[in-house]
């Protein structure tokens, strides 16, 4: 199926990105490096974007973003339900924080309820 790459873009730098004729090439190079070395800034000495991770499209990942960077904190494999890089309690705490944030931001609450159900399922899983 190929590979997927997660990229964080600093919105404050969109004007610079719009004017940069090499941005696409720099994203491609950073993505290639990230596949081997992990997270990479886009461009040399640039702070306008960051390649967080690259993974095979058959996998699902949960990425935590903040502070102008990000981290792949989990991966869900077809054969292994849940293999966290963080401890289970850290993943659950992150999901609770996300759920609370979404719940207070959305009036309908449907997304928030789905995340709460996911948290409950994780807490029950050994």
**E-assigned strands of 3-119?**
3-9, 40-41, 49-56, 60-66, 69-76, 83-84
d(C-alpha 99, C-alpha 74), whole Å: 17
Give me the residues paired with residue 62 across strands.
Answer: 74
pLDDT recorded at residue 3 = 87
Residues 4 and 56 in one domain: yes
Range of the domain at 122: 86-126
Contact indicator for 25, 14 with CB cutoff of 8 Å? no
Looking at the fold, whether 59 and 18 belong to one and the same domain comes out as yes
* Predicted pLDDT of residue 28: 92
Positions in the chain whose pLDDT score sits under 50:
76-84, 107
Q: How many C-beta atoms surround the C-beta of residue 109 within 10 A?
A: 12
The predicted-structure confidence for 54-69, as pLDDT tens digits, reads as follows: 888 877 788 888 888 8
79 and 124 housed in the same domain: no
Same domain assignment for residues 96 and 122: yes
The pTM is what?
Answer: 0.60
Closest to 75 (Cα-Cα) out of 1, 6, 29: 6
């Amino acid at each position: 199926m190929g590979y997927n790459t997660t990229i964080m873009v600093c919105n404050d730098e969109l004007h610079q990105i719009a004017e940069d004729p090499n941005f696409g090439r720099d994203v491609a190079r950073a993505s290639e490096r990230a596949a081997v070395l992990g997270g990479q800034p886009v461009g040399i000495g640039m702070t306008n974007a960051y390649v967080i991770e690259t993974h095979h499209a058959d996998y699902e990942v949960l990425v935590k973003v903040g502070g102008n960077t990000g981290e792949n904190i989990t991966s869900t494999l077809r054969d292994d339900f849940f293999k966290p890089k963080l401890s289970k309690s850290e993943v659950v705490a992150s999901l609770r924080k996300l759920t609370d944030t979404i719940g207070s931001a959305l009036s309908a609450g449907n997304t928030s309820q789905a995340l709460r159900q996911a948290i409950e399922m994780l807490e029950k899983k050994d």
